[in-house]
Amino acid sequence: MSQTLSGVGVTPRSGVGTARWYRPRDGRSETGGREHDPESERERIERAFASAEAGIESTRTSVADRIGEEEAAVFDAHEQFLADPTIREGIEAAIDRGEPAERAVEAAFAGPIEQFEAMEGRVAERADDLRDVCGRLLDGLSGEERADLSGLPTGTVLLAERLTPTDTARLEPERVAGFATIAGGRTSHAAIFARSLGIPAVVGVGEGLSTVEEGETVGINGETGEVVADPDEAAVDRLSAGVDHDAIDERVRTTDGREVDVAANVGTVSDLDRAIESGADGIGLFRTEFLFLDRTEPPDEEEQLAVYREALDAFDDRVVVRTLDVGADKPVPYLETEEGSNPFLGVRGIRRSLGPDSALFETQLRALLRAGAGRQNLAVMFPMVATTEELDAALDRVETVAAELGEAGIEHARPELGVMIETPAAVLSARALAARVEFFSIGTNDLSAYVMAVDRDDERLAALGDPLQPAVLRAIAESVEAAHDAGAWIGVCGEMASDPSLAELLVGLGVDELSMSPISVPAVKAEIRSIAAEDAERLAERALAAERLPEVEALVDHD
């Protein structure tokens, strides 16, 4: 008999297939009656650590090639967990007490996992990263390998208590019709990987999921969060309605004729194919920092030139390239950094480009201007601008580089130039900034955090950091007005742009371009086609008049 369970949908996709339970082996700490010589156990631990380190590195490389550099960065944290002296000390202390290596590992990870889970929300979901590392060590001790999730039968709907990042990274979208988990949240790395891979997924379903039997037909709606066991024909049709949106290659307009660009965010050249397949109207954010990560020295001018040309050749439409944005959560090992007490308020973005990374900045500008030669679709924007002095210095640097290229007889472009609106200072200076550039792009993730004075990774403050907070919406509205009054266009490239339910509000606020993960492009384009700009403007007026977050949420039916 059909039953419907509810969880958190994490991917705008649906699928129907055959249930297969994934239950990683339990009881790996069972060691029989053998004696546990501490020296022997230490040797086993060292081999397990070496195996885990090699496995993490291999997985990271595979994920970078197959999914993307941004997703692969998850495994940098795994390497840090593996090297955490507190965990190593806990394992050694347990071995000194006579515990076998397996129990020592489990005991050392139990406390940190419990601490993460007690924090709740996004931070709590990092407990799965610790479980992943712990599992690697136990695998190394047992000499066994995890189940090969890459070889699942075609049409599988995978069910599990939870999936770690390594588990999810092994899934093949062509084989897996979807997955559902008892535990987990929307910001877990399993959920993030599911979105990147385009796998229908629902997490946090609860214990009710355990009633679904192996081999049963199951439908997954990653948009609504439904998991339907033994669905009838009508249920299958309903599951698919409005999900698995077909790519729309042409530009879209509202029902009353207003055109809105829907572009894609990319981090590497490998992301370009996904952006093209999604029907994106160009690139709204090319995160160039991923060219500089996971290496021992920066890319030279010629390497950057080749990458930027490939991106510009992939689209006739505009390609917006953000200059190097490192610092804070994106450290680069070969650059000298002083994090300070709060890296997010430190030397990052344009502050580094005009300071310690000045030479890198000029090399990047040379490569960009050369790449744009003979093309009309290059746009360059500067991150973390807070003052007109910073912008003037960046613009002067562009002019200097262009003059040097001209003197050398090297062809180059004069691209559109723009500013990321991420700080309250940029909002308050928006009119002066807009008079100097051709466009703005709002990074709603950072803007929300800075306007509301919250740590983006602290889920205790998740409601305060919501981009629907009235103060954030007013900051967006002020930026839009300033841009348009100066004749500049304005986009949104933060997570807010990827939510189809917020498209009407953003259109109503006057945003000209929405840029997002490629997987969200079709759904957002379809949503824009269904709304009227006049209705959207009325919605925006009501939202801007609201005084509390719940009022705005009710207006946009945001959940």
**Catalytic annotation, residues:** 189, 493
Residue 431: its H or E element: helix 430-434
- What does each C-alpha distance from 276 to 176, 217, 491, 497 come to in angstroms? 23, 33, 19, 18
d(C-alpha 19, C-alpha 288), whole Å: 40
- Tokens encoding 432: 């002066």
CA angle 216, 217, 218 (to 5 degrees): 110
211 backbone dihedrals φ, ψ, rounded to 5°:
-80, -10
Q: Are 421 and 491 in contact (CB under 8 A)?
A: no
Helix axes 444-452, 470-485, angle to 10 degrees: 120
Q: Which residues of 76-100 are buried (b: 16+ CB within 10 A; e: fewer)?
A: ebbeebbebeebeebbbebbeeebb
From the list 385, 377, 375, the residue with the least C-alpha distance to 350 is: 385
Number of H helices, E strands in the chain: 23, 17
In angstroms, how far is CA 295 from the centroid of its own chain? 21
- Tokens encoding 48: 């397990």
d(C-alpha 347, C-alpha 16), whole Å: 49
> Tokens 């829907």 belong to which residue?
262
CA angle 51, 57, 58 (to 5 degrees): 85
Sheet architecture: strand order including 3-6 = 3-6, 226-229, 217-221, 14-22, 156-160, 176-181, 201-203, 8-9
d(C-alpha 318, C-alpha 370), whole Å: 16
d(C-alpha 19, C-alpha 186), whole Å: 22
Residue type, 453: A
Count Cβ atoms below 10 Å from residue 135 Cβ, excluding itself: 20
- Tokens encoding 262: 């829907």
Instruction: Kindly state the DSSP code that residue 268 receives in the 8-state scheme.
Output: S
d(C-alpha 549, C-alpha 551), whole Å: 5
Count Cβ atoms below 10 Å from residue 501 Cβ, excluding itself: 13
